[in-house]
Amino acid sequence: MSSDEVYRRIYDNPKFQALVKKRGRFAWTLSALMMLAYYGFVCLIAFDPKLLGTRIQPDAVLTWGIPGGIGLILLCFILTGIYVQRANGEFDREVRQILEEAGQ
C-alpha cells in the first residue's frame, strides 16, 4: 500500500475528522483563556495602574502587580501542562487507533 493511500484512508476516517475538531477546539479554548488573562492584566495596567501598584500590606515593598504577573506566568505553564497531558494521553491513543485502522 502506498503512502498516498494510507494518507487518504486516514483523512477519510471519521474518527480522524472528529479528532482534528476536538483537538482544535481544545487548543483554541486554552488559547482564549490565556489571551483573556493576559489582556486583562494589560488592561489593568493601562486603565487602573494604581490597583496593581498598591502595596499588599502598608509596610510591605511588594505590590499586587508582582503576584499578578507571576500568576500570569504560572497560568501559562499550567495551561501548557494541561494541553500536553491531554495530547500525550487521549489524543495519542486516538491517533494510534486511527493508524491501526488505516493499516499502519
**Does residue 30 have a pLDDT over 80?**
yes
Please identify which residue in the block is written with the cell numbers 486554552: 30
Average pLDDT of the segment spanning 18-43: 96
Q: Which residue has cell 501548557?
A: 80
User: What is the three-class DSSP state of 63?
Assistant: strand
- State the pLDDT at residue 104: 58
Predicted model pTM? 0.81
Residues with Cβ within 8 Å of 10's Cβ and at least 6 positions away in sequence, in order, are: 16, 98, 99, 102
Contact 69, 41 (CB under 8 A): yes
Look over the chain and give the mean of its residue pLDDT values, rounded to a whole number: 93
Cell of 19: 479528532
Query: What is the per-residue pLDDT for 103?
Result: 77
The pLDDT assigned to 1 comes to 64
